[in-house]
DNA sequence: TTTTACATTTTTGAATGCAAAATTTGCGAT
DNA sequence: ATCGCAAATTTTGCATTCAAAAATGTAAAA
């Protein structure tokens, strides 16, 4: 299925920041690069627009969605609510095996933290949150969560992190794992809300919305 | 913008149940009816597929999404989480004017309840929940909520309602309005979760997934 | 020199055409 | 009469083409 493939590839291009937020998406160029015609490309762009990753301007083409400060805050709030819900549901349904897998991922993430490897830490962090959402056993929730996090992802990866905040995040993750193991839904929901709130503060403090991806890649490096 | 228009019209057709869940969507026919070619129609179908209203089967065309029992339960859970989040946020941000508007809508809804007008009652009910979401002042949340509720909508409107449940729902709504007026975020969140849980039980009890829209219209009438 | 009007080019949006896949139809064998 | 298989038709997916709108460039006038 060409169309699905195309959506995935363009999404990856956008999430990698290869086309920075606010930049025009050159149809012609992408067609050549992906070796497809404009029809499936345009279909893919409309799907991505529905997902919120692309802005469509009438007769003026499409742009990589540029999120304002407020947009980021809003998305984080939704993300927070979804993760809290996922945590509660997960506590009711999660299996011992799933808890074990999350514990393993947690240990790995802590290892990356000790190594000071921020990129790998973020990867592990994301894996844990996705595992919790997955453990909720609710595909509709998983889908909505994926859509919301996709829009935030770039910002989340590039926020500069102070040692204090990083240490706090790790501590919170320990509490999250603990609540999961105790299957304490209400407690987990509470922790997840606090966790997200702290993450949100990071992002806003970084003033992400004023920058664009070209800066961000530099910041990562 | 032809494409936007088309998405809206097909969405309306699907939400009206004119094309029942699980039924094939005849491209050719819709093209003639909307007086457009296949290109914009197919773009619209892909957008609706991304929204979850349409299922795309490779080389087999598109169908109006048919939700299983589990799908419905899942969507209700997400809806519940989103409304709870919206309630909490609304309590922080809602203006007196907005509370007044919701109170008015509430009174109107209660009037329809007293008249035994289920259809109008549902309409008012939906307006209140949408107003709360709107009062959260979070467009991202509003968008996600709209997408999720669109998928549930048909089921929500057609569930048979016992007098007991109906009375309970009205009581809960009074508690909701009360918590809003007190700006009691935690309390509102709690009530909304209970409210949704009750609604969910109705839907599941009705065994919606086993029916299709042609039955449902009869049930309404 | 700057500005505005106009022509050219580019790009977008939609229609049509074409090849591949699936469904339906018809025919023959059991 | 029914089942199986193959040809024909329909339908899907993508490429190409065409028309309209916007961007660009140029030239003339102030």
Q: pLDDT by residue (tens digit) across A19-28? A: 999 999 999 9
Please check whether strand C approaches the CB of A28 to within 7 Å. yes
> A64: part of which helix (H) or strand (E)?
strand A61-64
Long-range pairs of B145-148 with CB within 8 A, sequence gap ≥ 24: B145/B79, B145/B82, B145/B83, B145/B86, B147/A144, B147/B51, B147/B52, B148/A140, B148/A144, B148/B75, B148/B78, B148/B79, B148/B82
A213 vs A17: CA distance, rounded Å: 6
The pLDDT tens digits of the residues spanning A77-98 come to 999 899 999 999 999 999 999 9
How would residue A108 be classed by pLDDT, with cut points 50, 70 and 90? very high
Sequence-separated (6 or more) residues with CB below 8 Å from residue A100: none
Residue B95 CB lies within 7 Å of the nucleic strand C:
no
Q: Which fold has domain A69-220?
A: 1.20.120
Distance B38 CA to C16 C1' (A): 10
Q: Domain coordinates of chain B in residue numbers?
A: 2-64, 69-220
pLDDT digits (tens, 9 = 90+) for A164-187: 989 999 999 999 999 999 999 888
> Is A50 an interface residue toward B (CB < 8 Å)?
yes
CA gap B84, B220 in Å, rounded? 29
Average pLDDT over all residues of chain A: 87
Q: What are the phi and psi torsion angles at B76 (to 5°)?
A: -65, -40
Nearest to A150 by CA among A126, A120, A134, A133: A126
CA-nearest of B126, B45, B63, B133 to A50 is B45
Interface with chain A: mutation pick from B42, B138, B146, highest number of A CBs within 10 Å: B138
Please report the pLDDT score of residue B170 as a whole number. 94
Q: What is the pLDDT of residue A95?
A: 96
How does the average pLDDT of chain B come out, rounded?
A: 87
Other beta carbons within 10 Å of B59? 5
Cβ pair A71, A41 in contact under 8 A: no
Q: Which tokens is B122 given?
A: 């549902």
Alpha carbon of B68 to those of A145, B23, B80, B164: distances in Å?
Answer: 20, 14, 18, 27
Give the residue among A149, A158, A154 at the shortest CA–CA distance from A79. A149
Query: CB-hemisphere CA count at 13 Å for A94?
Result: 29
Tell me the CB-side half-sphere exposure of residue B136, using CA atoms within 13 A: 30
Q: Closest residue of A to B59, CA-based?
A: A1
Distance of CA A152 to the CA centre of its chain: 5
With cut-offs at 50, 70 and 90, classify the pLDDT of residue A64: very high
Task: Determine the pLDDT at residue B221.
Answer: 28
DSSP SS3 for B86: helix
Q: For residue B157, is pLDDT > 60?
A: no
**Strand C proximal to B37 Cβ, under 7 A:** yes
CA dist A131 and A151 (Å) reads: 19
The DSSP element (H or E) to which A61 belongs, if any, is strand A61-64
DSSP E strand boundaries for chain B: 54-57, 61-64
Condensed to tens digits (0 to 9), the pLDDT of residues B130-155 reads: 999 999 999 999 999 999 999 998 76
- A1 and chain B in contact, CB less than 8 A: yes
Give the class (CATH, top level) of B2-64: mainly alpha
pLDDT at B94 over 50: yes
Residue of B nearest to A80 (CA): B85
Nearest to B78 among A39, A74, A138 (CB): A138
Count of helix runs (H) and strand runs (E) in chain B? 10, 2
Mean pLDDT across B103-119: 96
B148 touches chain A (CB under 8 A): yes
Rounded CA-CA distance B180/A81 in Å is: 19
**Closest-CA residue in chain B for A73?**
B138
Question: Rounded distance, CA A105 to CA A124, Å?
Answer: 6
Contact B48, B7 (CB under 8 A): yes
* Strand D positions within 7 A of protein Cβ atoms: 11-17, 21-23
């Amino acid at each position: 299925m060409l169309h699905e493939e195309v959506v995935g590839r363009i999404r990856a291009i956008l999430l990698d920041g290869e086309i920075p937020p606010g930049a025009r998406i050159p149809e012609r160029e992408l067609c050549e690069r992906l070796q497809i015609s404009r029809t499936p490309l345009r279909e893919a762009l409309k799907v991505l627009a529905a997902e919120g990753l692309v802005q469509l301007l009438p007769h003026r083409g499409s742009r990589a969605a540029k999120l304002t400060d407020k947009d980021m805050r809003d998305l984080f709030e939704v993300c927070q609510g979804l993760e809290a819900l996922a945590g509660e549901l997960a506590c009711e349904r999660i299996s011992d095996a799933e808890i074990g897998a999350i514990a393993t991922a947690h240990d790995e993430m802590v290892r990356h933290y000790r190594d000071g490897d921020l990129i790998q830490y973020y990867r592990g962090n994301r894996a844990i949150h996705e595992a919790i959402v997955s453990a909720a056993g609710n595909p509709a929730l998983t889908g909505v969560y994926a859509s919301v996090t996709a829009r935030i992802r770039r910002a989340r990866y590039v926020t500069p992190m102070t040692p204090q905040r990083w240490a706090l995040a790790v501590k919170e993750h320990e509490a999250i794992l603990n609540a999961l193991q105790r299957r304490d839904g209400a407690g987990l929901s509470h922790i997840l809300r606090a966790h997200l709130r702290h993450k949100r503060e990071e992002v806003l403090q970084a003033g992400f919305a004023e920058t664009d991806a070209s800066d961000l890649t530099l910041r990562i490096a």
